[in-house]
């Protein structure tokens, strides 16, 4: 929705129906196609904007263990909805500045949510790691430049927010004229963004970034869609620009092969539909198709997953478009969230504001400005499976660099994703990325240390989910006998790294096969984690990985126990 656009105040009256749904999960009467099924609906109202709307954007977050949550922009903050039961429930609510212009935009990175509005407060950074019990506002991040010629410019009011590859893009920052994209790095510390650069050809209403290419929607003055190389965040360069008569480009997306761009128009004299552009002749481009389910209502935005585009189509609701052939988009399914209202002052801005189709379970969500959050499934959006590890199997011993194998999460052709293989030991913390379900470790990685822990993450542009298990294996280099590597006494080593955030490795040595207990305690003496519970382990050097992402910063103790040995050490978690 354009900043400061001409909305008129209204009061939406749903009387007893909405009152009975408040903070509950229920099914609302709506129309859907046979391929789209309503899973649930929730209407957790938190205030009303001066336009008479309750909700704006939605997004999603998936915890490493696969639990799924919806994040819903409301008039006075962010509602976080637990999607993991048979019914929907609001797990947390984080207050924010009043959404004077009826919107709040949200994205996620790691276990944090980043929320912007033109109500001020910059970027709200919310820690989601405590879910399903709680979510905590870490800080309001506001950056004010002290460097000429941008001295005094600020990101305190942004229209939308984009996240890609550990970089935060504040779009349409009202106090950073001409309101382009202000870019920050989250890679060093997700709670303390570092200024990286800007892209400021004109007002950028929204952006989408993939593989260091930015698609920037310039909604005003016939701006069109900028296509930008952002490999160098301090000096982005324009690759090309899609310009067309009467444009009011609201958002843009790209096909999975990068050969086509999809745009939507919310204002301007052009049709307020989805347009498809061929990108094979940049800096020029050719429009190859247009699509709309209902030309009397605008498409607010589109998001792509696989060979389908998911559209928030205002009064036409949530729509799915088949773009296996982008030159011939075909509607495949829908769920109409819009409840007709006799009040004529709503104008065009009513109904479905946003969609999010990236949950691994196959759920996708839509936010309706008047009636809340809708959770649907779609027959062609198949769930991903959390991988199971295959080899090297748990407690195995290998004498050469191993072949790692795990089960597939999904069909790469229909649901593109990648795997991150993580390999940890006392002296090693490394990661390899692949799209296959196997990986041959390069020579020289393991050396003569071990044992090693390994696990896999499944990732796409917006989610990451861990494998169902973590396996441990020992590495016995050729020519070195097991007897030669056996320790002569029990010992518990200092964890590494220390201080740490959030993972650390605890190494210990066993001179003989032993039943081992490894526990974590806080300063008050409460046991907060049990890493090993009397587990029988062979003689040798061993280690265990401790994940403290759900714990606050502070001092902790770890204790190793066998039948004949006890030792305790101190470690520090520093966020």
Distance between the two ends of the chain, CA-based, in angstroms? 36
Cis peptide before 497 (omega within 30 of 0): yes
Reduced 3-state DSSP string for 47-78: CCCCCCCCEEEEEEEECCCCCEEEEEEECCEE
Write the CB contacts of 150 (distance below 8 Å, at least 6 apart in sequence).
Answer: 176, 198
Supply 532's token pair. 């090993």
Same structural domain, 507 and 442: no
Report the pLDDT value the prediction gives residue 283, as an integer from 0 to 100.
Answer: 86
Buried b or exposed e, range 498-528, using 16+ CB within 10 angstroms: eebeeebbbbbbbeeebebbbbbeeeeeeee
Please, which residues have CB within 8 angstroms of residue 544's CB and are 6 or more apart in sequence?
A: 453, 505, 506, 518, 531, 532
Question: Does 261 reside within a domain?
Answer: no
Beta strands 471-475 and 452-459, pairing class: antiparallel
Q: Are residues 518 and 441 in the same domain?
A: no
Kindly state whether residues 93 and 177 are assigned to the same domain.
Answer: yes
Q: Is residue 150 part of a domain?
A: yes
3-state SS string for 127-166: ECCCCCCCCEEEEEECCECCCCCCCCCECCCCCEEEEECC
Q: Does any domain span residue 326? A: no
Convert the pLDDT of each residue in 269-323 to its tens digit. Answer: 999 999 999 999 888 889 999 999 999 999 999 999 999 999 999 999 999 999 9
Q: What whole-number distance in Å separates Cα of residue 136 and Cα of residue 367?
A: 23
Same domain as 189, residue 49? yes
Q: Is residue 131 part of a domain?
A: yes
Both tokens assigned to 509: 């040595």
Rounded Cα gap, residues 554 and 575, in angstroms: 9
Decide which of 475, 500, 520 is a domain's last residue: 475
Portion of the chain with pLDDT greater than 70, in percent: 90
167 and 53: one domain? yes
Q: Residues 6 or more apart from 483 whose CB is under 8 A from it?
A: none
Q: How far apart are CA 552 and CA 565, in angstroms?
A: 30
Q: How far apart are CA 108 and CA 562, in angstroms?
A: 43
pLDDT digit string, tens, across residues 104-124: 999 999 999 999 998 888 999
Q: Are residues 467 and 535 in the same domain?
A: no
Q: Tell how far CA 324 is from the center of its chain.
A: 25
Q: What is the domain-level CATH number for residue 509?
A: 2.60.40.1930
Cβ count within 10 A of residue 200: 18
| Position 219 in a domain | no
67 pLDDT exceeds 60?
yes
Least confident of 36-45, 281-290, 439-448: 439-448
> What predicted TM-score, i.e. pTM, was given to this entire model?
0.78
Last residue of a domain, one of 198, 217, 249: 198
Q: What is the dihedral of CA 269, 271, 273, 274, to 10 degrees?
A: -90
Q: Do 560 and 445 fall within a single domain?
A: no
| Residue 252, in any domain of the structure | no
Does residue 224 lie within any of the structural domains?
Answer: no
Q: How many domains does the chain have?
A: 3
Distance CA 491, CA 481 (A): 21
- With vertex at residue 268, the alpha carbon angle to CA 263 and CA 272, rounded to the nearest 5 degrees, is 50
Which residues are registered as beta bridge partners of 438?
405
Report the CATH number at residue 455: 2.60.40
Reported confidence tier of residue 426, pLDDT bands at 50, 70, 90: confident
408 and 505 fall within a common domain? no
Please report which confidence band the pLDDT of residue 7 belongs to, taking 50, 70 and 90 as the band edges: very low
Q: Is residue 146 part of a domain?
A: yes
Instruction: Supply the pLDDT for residue 11.
Output: 27
Give the mean model confidence (pLDDT) for residues 243-267: 94
Residue 58's domain spans which residues? Answer: 44-198
**In terms of domains, do 404 and 449 share one?**
yes
Q: Find where tokens 């593109």 sit.
A: 416
Residue 505 shares a structural domain with residue 563: yes
* One domain, residues 156 and 112: yes
Using the structure block, give the residue that is written with the tokens 């049709």: 271
Give the β-pairing of 167-171 and 160-164: antiparallel
Name the helix (H) or strand (E) containing 17.
Answer: helix 15-21
* 393 & 465 share domain: yes
d(CA 367, CA 295): 20
Instruction: Please state the rounded mean pLDDT for residues 96-111.
Output: 83
Task: Provide the pLDDT for residue 53.
Answer: 87
- CATH assignment at residue 70: 2.40.128
From 170, 198, 226, give the residue that closes a domain: 198
Report the side by side order of strands in the sheet with 503-510: 491-492, 503-510, 540-547
With 70 as the cut, is the pLDDT of residue 441 above it?
yes
């Amino acid at each position: 929705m354009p900043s400061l656009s001409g909305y008129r105040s209204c009061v939406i009256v749903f009387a007893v129906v909405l009152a009975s749904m408040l903070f509950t999960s229920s099914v609302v009467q709506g129309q859907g196609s046979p391929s789209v099924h309503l899973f649930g609906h929730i209407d957790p109202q938190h205030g009303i904007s001066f336009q008479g709307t309750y909700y704006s954007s939605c997004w999603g977050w998936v915890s490493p263990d696969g639990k799924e949550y919806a994040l819903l922009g409301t008039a006075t903050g962010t509602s976080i909805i637990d999607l993991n039961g048979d019914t929907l429930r609001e797990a947390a609510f984080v207050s924010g500045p009043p959404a004077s212009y009826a919107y709040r935009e949200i994205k996620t990175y790691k276990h944090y949510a980043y929320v912007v509005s033109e109500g001020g407060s910059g970027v709200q950074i919310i820690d989601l790691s405590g879910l399903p019990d709680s979510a905590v506002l870490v800080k309001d991040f506001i950056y004010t430049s002290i460097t000429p010629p941008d001295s005094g410019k600020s990101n305190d009011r942004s229209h939308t927010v984009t996240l890609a590859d550990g970089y935060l893009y504040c779009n349409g920052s009202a106090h950073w004229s001409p309101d382009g994209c202000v870019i920050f790095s989250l890679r060093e510390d997700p709670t303390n963004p570092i200024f990286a650069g800007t892209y400021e050809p004109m007002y950028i209403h929204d952006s989408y970034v993939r593989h260091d290419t930015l698609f920037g929607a310039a909604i005003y003055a016939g701006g069109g869609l900028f296509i930008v190389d952002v490999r160098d965040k301090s000096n982005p360069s324009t690759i090309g620009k899609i310009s067309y008569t009467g444009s009011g480009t609201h958002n843009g997306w790209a096909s999975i092969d990068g050969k086509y761009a999809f745009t939507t128009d919310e204002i301007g004299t052009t049709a307020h539909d989805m347009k498809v552009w061929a990108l094979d002749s940049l800096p020029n481009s050719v429009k190859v198709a247009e699509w709309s389910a209902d030309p009397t209502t605008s498409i607010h935005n589109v998001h792509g997953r696989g060979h389908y585009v998911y559209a928030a189509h205002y009064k036409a609701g949530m729509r799915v478009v088949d773009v296996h052939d982008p030159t011939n988009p075909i509607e495949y399914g829908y769920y109409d969230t819009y409840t007709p209202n006799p009040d004529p002052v709503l104008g065009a801005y009513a109904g479905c504001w946003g969609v999010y189709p990236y949950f691994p379970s196959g759920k996708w969500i839509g936010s309706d400005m008047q009636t809340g959050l809708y959770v649907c499934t779609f027959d062609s959006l198949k769930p991903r499976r959390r991988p199971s590890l295959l080899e090297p199997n748990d407690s195995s011993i290998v004498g050469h660099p191993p072949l790692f194998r795990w089960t597939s999460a999904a069909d790469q052709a229909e649901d593109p994703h990648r795997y991150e293989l993580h390999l940890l030991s006392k002296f090693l913390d490394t990661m390899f990325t692949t799209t296959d379900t196997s990986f041959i470790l390069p020579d020289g990685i393991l050396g003569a240390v071990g044992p090693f822990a390994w696990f896999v993450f499944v990732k796409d542009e917006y989610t990451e989910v861990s494998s169902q298990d973590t396996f441990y294996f020992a590495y016995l280099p050729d020519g070195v006998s097991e007897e030669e590597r056996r320790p002569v006494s029990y010992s518990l080593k200092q964890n590494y790294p220390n201080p740490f955030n959030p993972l650390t490795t605890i190494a210990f040595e066993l001179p003989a096969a032993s039943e081992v207990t490894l526990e974590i305690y806080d300063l008050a003496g409460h046991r907060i984690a049990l890493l090993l519970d009397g587990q029988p382990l062979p003689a040798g050097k061993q280690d265990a990985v401790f994940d403290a992402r759900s714990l606050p910063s502070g001092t902790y103790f770890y204790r190793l126990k066998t039948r004949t040995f006890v030792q305790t050490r101190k470690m520090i978690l520093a966020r």
